[in-house]
Amino acid sequence: MKASDLMVAALEAEGVEYVFAVPGEENLDLLESLRTSAITLVLARHEQGAGFMAATYGRLTGKAGVCLATLGPGATNLTTPAAYAALGAFPLVIITGQKPIKTSKQAQFQIVDVVSLFTPLCKASTQIVNGNRIPSLVREGFRLAQEERPGAVLLELPEDIAEEETIEPVIPPHYRRYAVAGDAALDEAAERIIAAERPLLLIGAGANRRRASKALRKFVSDTGFPFFDTQMGKGVVDEDSELYLGTAALSSGDYVHCAIEKADLIVNIGHDVVEKPPFFMEPGGQTVIHINYKAAEVDQVYFPQLEVIGDIAGSVERLGNRLDGKLQCDRSYYTALHHEIASHISETSDDERFPMVPQRVVADVRSVMARDDIVALDNGIYKIWFARNYIANEPGTILLDNALATMGAGLPSAMMAAMLSPGRRVLAVCGDGGFMMNSQELETAVRLGLNLVVLVLNDAAYGMIRWKQDQLGFPDYGLTFSNPDFVTYAQSYGATGHRVERSADLVAVLNDAFEAGGVHLVDLPVDYSENKKVLIDELGAKVCEL
């Protein structure tokens, strides 16, 4: 068969459902092979949109998402999605085209060393130089992308290789199981936990993979272990629990850090140093037990004293058996702090001011979303408010990027969630700055017939950086802009536009949009004066008195 047909057959063997693409001339053989395959081609309006959708497919399913672009500028536009997948640990396979490598007809026109460019961003970056290598390289690429810790892999398919004949068979994938931690490590972990006076559990992004939620929920329920989570660990264990102490949206100085300071032992499940540190280790400080698929990457602020390495669900289950009925720690401080944090978060949640304050925005969004509905956030100051104030009940229901933290990913991420979960409400929450970076994908969402609501928080500024600028005492400069009429803009793509004009209307507008179906954009003016008041002044004056 033709090498491009073999490439598609290898993708089909891996269970690939979609290829998200902005194809070019160098991809035409592969595009023709896709046309007659069982794989659905999703044409995006920018390579970033395609890459973010594919990475989110990997994040939500555990199977590598696939995106496709041409050489040169098409490939370079995928560097940000590659970094998004690499830092966020989302399995992603990137396929790019290239000019013929056996004979050069256009000298260096559009030629960039794509393989070298992606090497620092990917677990593997390889040019396919012979069609017979396709089965092994595709199989190895998917294995690496999906294996813990997941990430991105690049395969470059030159156009002359794509059209050559090959006779190699596809290599079928096989299921692999991860080993669980050894008895010695589990025994020592149990001993240290039982001996601790105030142990505390931290749940990170790694626990949001490989379906570890069921084991962790049972572990928390059986042991009564007080817990907090990182932004990317939200929802693994139900945050409505009396044992929940908040999300570490800030690296220090928040209410949850009162619990961290009081703890003498922290059991850290599924966290790595890529995500913003939820606490800082210091010599002579708390003992930290690291439970994860892989050993801890030692950092100046993270150097655990004990590591329990293996499949998280299996390790947690066996650790729970060792702790059964033996965890007799003092929870009184944590219980009091739980109620203190809940009270703090509820403040201003019914504030009538307009433009709306972020606390009211989060509370109103939470009221219209069911337990298993999905909120996908772009990146901006509102992400901190959602991380702190939004109660997540199920894994994968609040999609935060606290690793690369790139703007422009919120809308494509929400689109992917809507494709995978057509029966659930999916809401993209974007700042006006981040939304405009990939707003053209509204056309893709409409063309795909998605049911999706996009909430654009409008402050006509890059609000996160403006807040930091003010925090550092610099004058307000260089961070404000003008926006299009978002209602008309949405309508120009065939979506429905709404503008909220008073705080009391947001819930009704969101509910009506979800009930109507299709793609809706909601323009919501926001007031970020609460950033300084709460996140700087109030937290700066906070004393851990409980």
What's the CA gap between 380 and 378, in Å, rounded? 7
Residue 136, SS3 per DSSP: helix
Per-residue model confidence (pLDDT) at position 399: 97
Per-residue model confidence (pLDDT) at position 124: 98
What's the CA gap between 432 and 440, in Å, rounded? 13
Sheet containing strand 92-98, edge to edge, reads 40-43, 18-22, 65-69, 92-98, 152-158, 124-127
Question: What's the half-sphere exposure (Cβ side, CA atoms, 13 Å) at 381?
Answer: 28
Which residues have C-beta within 8 Å of that of residue 354, sequence separation ≥ 6? 501, 502, 503, 525, 527
Element (H, E) at 119: none
What's the CA gap between 431 and 1, in Å, rounded? 48
Looking at the domain 183-338, which fold is it? Rossmann fold (3.40.50)
Per-residue model confidence (pLDDT) at position 80: 98
User: Which among 57, 387, 375, 384 has a CA at the least distance from the CA of 229?
Assistant: 387
Neighbours of 104 (CB within 10 A): 11
Residue 379, SS3 per DSSP: coil
Per-residue model confidence (pLDDT) at position 545: 67
Q: Supply the DSSP string of 277-321, one letter for each residue.
A: PSS---TTS-EEEEEESS----BTTB--SEEEES-HHHHHHHHHH
What's the CA gap between 125 and 86, in Å, rounded? 13
Per-residue pLDDT of the chain (546 residues), as tens digits, is: 999 999 999 999 999 999 999 999 999 999 999 999 999 999 999 999 999 999 999 999 999 999 999 999 999 999 999 999 999 999 999 999 999 988 877 677 778 999 999 999 999 999 999 999 999 999 999 999 999 999 999 999 999 999 999 999 999 998 888 888 999 999 999 999 999 999 999 999 999 886 799 999 999 999 999 999 999 999 999 999 999 999 999 888 899 999 999 999 999 999 878 887 888 888 888 899 999 999 998 888 889 999 999 999 999 999 999 998 888 888 889 999 999 989 988 888 999 999 999 999 999 999 999 999 999 999 999 999 999 999 999 999 999 999 999 999 999 999 999 999 999 999 999 999 999 999 999 999 999 999 999 999 999 999 999 989 988 999 999 999 999 999 999 999 999 999 999 999 999 999 999 999 999 999 999 999 988 888 888 888 887 865
Q: How far is CA 359 from CA 241, 293, 531, in A?
A: 21, 36, 10
| Ramachandran region, residue 221 (left: φ > 0; alpha: ψ -120 to 50; beta: rest) | alpha
Q: Supply the DSSP string of 439-485, one letter for each residue.
A: TTHHHHHHHTT--EEEEEEE-SB-HHHHHHHHHTT--S-S-B-----
User: Which among 30, 19, 22, 29 has a CA at the least distance from the CA of 57?
Assistant: 19
The full set of domain ranges for the chain reads: 3-163, 183-338, 347-536
Q: How far is CA 116 from CA 119, 120, 329, 516, in A?
A: 5, 8, 53, 48
What is the second-level CATH architecture of the domain 347-536? 3-Layer(aba) Sandwich (3.40)
Q: Which pair of tokens denotes residue 387?
A: 């991380």
Neighbours of 192 (CB within 10 A): 17
Q: Which long-range contacts (CB under 8 A, 24 or more apart) does 277-285 make?
A: 277/251, 277/301, 277/302, 278/202, 278/204, 278/228, 278/230, 278/248, 278/251, 279/202, 279/248, 279/251, 279/252, 280/251, 280/252
| CB-count exposure of residue 295 (10 Å: 0-12, 13-18, 19+) | exposed
- Identify the CATH number of the domain defined by range 3-163: 3.40.50.970
Q: Supply the DSSP string of 322-368, one letter for each residue.
A: HHTTT-----HHHHHHHHHHHHHHHTTTT---SSBPHHHHHHHHHHH
Residue type, 195: A
Q: Are 280 and 266 in contact (CB under 8 A)?
A: no
Per-residue model confidence (pLDDT) at position 546: 58
Q: What are phi and psi of 236, to 5 degrees?
A: -60, -45
Q: Which pair of tokens denotes residue 50?
A: 């395609």
> Looking at the DSSP assignment, which residues form a beta bridge with residue 398?
375
The structure tokens 């398919």 sit at 157
Per-residue model confidence (pLDDT) at position 281: 86
Q: Which pair of tokens denotes residue 195?
A: 């001996």
